[in-house]
Amino acid sequence: MHGVVNIREALDMAERAGLDLVEISPNAVPPVCKILDFGKFKYESKKRLHEARKKQKIVVLKEMKFKPNISIGDFETKLKKIKEFLKDGDKVKISLWFKGREILHKEVGQALFKRIEIGLAGLIKIDQHAKMEGKQMIMIVSPDIKVQ
């Protein structure tokens, strides 16, 4: 039955059907109620909440460390690992550690970050461009949504 019904009538109808009168929207004028099995309703809403949580992706920040004088093979291996992190949907913090006098040659670090950007072209969205933090240069990237 649809429409506005007296609360006594609604309770009687629910009792006759062997079900419960459940208030769905208390803020509406008049309040919206349904006649249904409350235990089943509670179970299904809990199940929907559980399914929504299961589908939710938790973003993790992974880190990959580089040195300014990295060899080509090591660079390719680290780049491949970054691609795996991005395919899993994780953000990646790429850090370049300078030791001693290496810090005087920041342009080497900039060139390395440019190589990384070229190697990951089309896969990444840069969240934070390369910047110095103490003795390390940092860049944060995340997977490009359009690619997935």
- Per-residue pLDDT reduced to its tens digit, 61-80: 999 999 999 999 999 999 99
Query: Does residue 1 register a pLDDT over 80?
Result: no
CATH entry, 7-55, from 3.40.50.2000, 3.30.420.40, 3.40.50.1370, 3.10.20.80:
3.10.20.80
pLDDT one-digit tens code per residue, 5-60: 888 998 999 999 999 998 888 898 888 999 999 899 899 999 999 998 888 777 78
Q: Report domain extents, the chain.
A: 7-55, 61-143
Q: Give the pTM.
A: 0.61
Cis omega (within 30 of 0) on the bond before 30?
yes
**Distance of alpha carbon 138 from alpha carbon 130, whole angstroms:** 5
CATH topology of domain 61-143: Translation Initiation Factor IF3 (3.30.110)
Would you state the pLDDT for residue 96? 94
Query: Does residue 147 register a pLDDT over 70?
Result: no
**Distance of alpha carbon 2 from alpha carbon 32, whole angstroms:** 11
Would you state the pLDDT for residue 6? 87
User: Pairing state of beta strands 91-97 and 61-66?
Assistant: parallel
Q: In the block, which residue shows the tokens 């992190």?
A: 85
What percent of the residues of the chain are helix, what percent strand, and what percent coil, each to the nearest 5? Answer: 45, 30, 30
pLDDT one-digit tens code per residue, 93-133: 999 999 998 889 889 999 999 999 999 888 889 999 999 99
- Beta carbons within 10 angstroms of residue 26's beta carbon: 8
- Using alpha carbons, select from 138, 144, 103, 147 the residue that is nearest to residue 124: 144
Would you state the pLDDT for residue 20? 92
96 exposure class (CB count in 10 Å sphere: 0-12, 13-18, 19+): buried
